[in-house]
Structure 1
Amino acid sequence: MKNFVLIIELGGPCMYPIIALSIVGLAVVIERLWFYRKSWVNPGPLERKLGELLYKGDAEGASRLVRERETSLHRLFRAAVDHWQAPPDALKMLLEQEVRHEIYRWEKGLMLLSAVARVEPLLGLLGTVLGIVEVFRAVAATAEGSANMAMLASGIWEALLTTVAGLVVAIPAVLCYTWFSSKIEAAEEALCRGSDFILREKILRG
């Protein structure tokens, strides 16, 4: 803990916004992981079970099935089952609206994580530039401009701490953003597939 505080002090004032944004980014990552874990389900088995119930005309069983969990696909199928008597065109519009709503839920917070990934290296660079400016100001203020290499090296490595800190936060943020984006694509594909499945069942079963 002492070393961590020392590094912050050596890094200068830019270390504080870097740390604050890292906390924000970590909070987004944790919240998104929790949401994705809660909202994802393998679409294949769920579609098969629902298809069997619709084939049998078991409306009550279908209603129970789509209320078992709070995944995005369960919510999509729940809206379809609750409005099963609606005309195909109206049901299609409802499903499209539900898909958009669910994708919005999956994308929530990612713009903030992307901003953290972009801003952190810039803050680190700003801190380094300010540190180097301070080093050379101190060198210029030294009697007759005399300064040994040890003094310069010490000042420059301290100035570089903010760049290191910014990159340490930005790299995982970029990786998490990329992984989350791939999960969103998978969720969108599952929801569109689920919507097509419901419309196909509606046409077949009436």
Structure 2
Amino acid sequence: MNIQEIMTKGGVAMWPLLILSVLALSTIIERSIFWIRFLLKEGKILNRVLETAARNWDAAPKVAKENSKHPMGSFLYGPLRLDNPDPEVFHLALESSADDELALMRRGDKVLEAVIALSPLLGLLGTVLGLITSLGNIQISDLGTSSTTGVTLGIGEALISTATGLIVAIISLTFYRIFQSLWSNQVRIFRKAGSELEVIYRQRWSDSEVNPSAFSGNTPSKFTDTFDQ
């Protein structure tokens, strides 16, 4: 059967399933492109910002701002743009920036969750409606005769919507789990990157109490290649 025949034989439930499949496909493509681009640049940006912060703190905000279109750069730029804040304020800025970027990374999750939940139900609904139509035309006197031959075919066609709904849900669930895994890994990386940046800042803050020029000094980097990917 071609697509047109499947849509026709599957019944009215096939149309909302088609809409859900289009939504799921567009979300999967958009999120896949996002994660590919994100992961290709993340390590380079993170290493560059941390290395610059360790060597010359005053230059770190500029480097982070140049990469602020990337979620990692935007996350690090959040606290770096502050003017010599208290360490506690710096920590809060890190957390707030991380929350914002991690929330944006989950864009599209609600769409996939809705598709995963609704697709099997719509498929089942289509099957039930098809069975009602097929069985509604049978009379007791027709049982065991050739009159019931079409009923078997009708039941088979009614199951098309269930199969379609399950396929859409399975594909959506697969990519949903992949995206969730990537997001969970980013939570760990953001936490580690934020901790290392905060350590650098707190060390600078402590040094500034003894030497006010410490914030503009140069020190060797300890973070090169920490997140090379």
Q: State yes or no: 1:29 paired with 2:24.
A: no
> CA separation in 2, counterparts of 1:48 and 1:150?
70
- Paired position in structure 1 for 2:115: 116
Letter in 1 for 2:11: G
User: C-alpha deviations, 1:179-201, integer Å up to 9, x for none?
Assistant: 01001101111111111111101
Quick check: 1:110–1:177 contact (8 Å CA) kept in 2?
yes
Residue identity matched to 2:35: Y
Partner letter of residue 181 of structure 2? S
> Residue type matched to 2:142 in 1?
G
Whole-angstrom distance in 2 between the partners of 1:123 and 1:61: 53
| C-alpha RMSD of the superposition | 2.2
Preserved CA contact (<8 Å) 2:68 2:77 = no
User: After the TM superposition, which residues 137-176 of structure 1 pair with which residues of structure 2 at under 5 Å, given as runs?
Assistant: 137-140=136-139, 144-146=141-143, 147-148=145-146, 149-176=148-175
Report the residue type matching 1:202 in the other structure.
Answer: Y
- Gap regions ≥5 residues in structure 2: 206-229
Measure the CA separation in 2 of the matches of 1:178 and 1:78. Answer: 30
Aligned residue pairs, count = 203
- Structure 2 CA distance for partners of 1:135 and 1:3, relative to 1, 3 Å: same
Structure 1 residue 41 displacement after superposition: 5.4
Partners in 2 of 1:86 and 1:204 — Cα distance? 13
Kindly tell me: are residues 187 and 84 of structure 1, through their superposed partners in 2, closer, same or farther at Cα, counting changes over 3 Å?
Answer: farther
Cα deviation, 1:13-72, whole Å, max 9, x if unaligned, reads: 011001111111111111212222333357655444333322332523652355236322
Matched, 1:49 2:48: yes
How much has 1:82 moved relative to structure 2? 1.5
Aligned-residue offset at 1:202 = 0.4
TM-score, length-scaled by structure 2 = 0.80
Q: 1:126 to 1:94 in 2, by over 3 A?
A: same
Inter-partner Cα distance in structure 2 for 1:202 and 1:11: 62
Q: Distance in 1 between matches of 2:68 and 2:38?
A: 9
Q: 1:47 to 1:6 in 2, by over 3 A?
A: closer
Kindly tell me: are residues 64 and 49 of structure 1, through their superposed partners in 2, closer, same or farther at Cα, counting changes over 3 Å?
A: closer
